[in-house]
Amino acid sequence: MDNQPTRYEALLACRDAAGSNSQMGRDLDIPQSTMSRIINSSRQLPAEYVLTAEKLYGVSRHALRPDIYPRETMQDRRAMRACELATGQNDTVPCHDVQHSDRFHGVDFKRGLGTKAAGQ
């Protein structure tokens, strides 16, 4: 059973964190009428507002728009740890969200774990 919220539930969580449709619209610089249409009709946040909403309200981009920000799982704990070390994060920022090359600490994520990057 999947415990992840739907896009609409995530959108409502943002609205609840903002306090109202109107306040969410002001926070995201969206006209109130458009914000109401988004919530009541399209039921998902347009892509250009997702990262701002995540930052303001703490609702994950993966929940708001899983079609754009799919939730990826790293099966290999060594790869996850290499990502955490490289980014200075601990399970708070997914590896694919960080602006970086594909090589960290001798791990070439395109070729697999344990493969030394060329020239190292």
Q: What is the DSSP letter of 97?
A: G
Domain ranges of the chain: 7-64, 77-108
Sign of CA dihedral 57, 6, 92, 111: negative
Structure tokens at 25: 């619209």
Q: What is the pLDDT of residue 86?
A: 76
pLDDT of 102 strictly over 60: no
CATH superfamily of 7-64: lambda repressor-like DNA-binding domains (1.10.260.40)
Q: How far is C-alpha 68 from the geometric centre of its chain's CA atoms?
A: 9
pLDDT digits (tens, 9 = 90+) for 56-86: 999 999 999 999 998 865 555 667 677 777 7
Residue 108 to residues 9, 46, 70, 120: CA-CA distances in angstroms? Answer: 37, 34, 22, 11
pLDDT digits (tens, 9 = 90+) for 6-50: 999 999 999 999 999 999 999 999 999 999 999 999 999 999 999
pLDDT of 109 strictly over 80: no
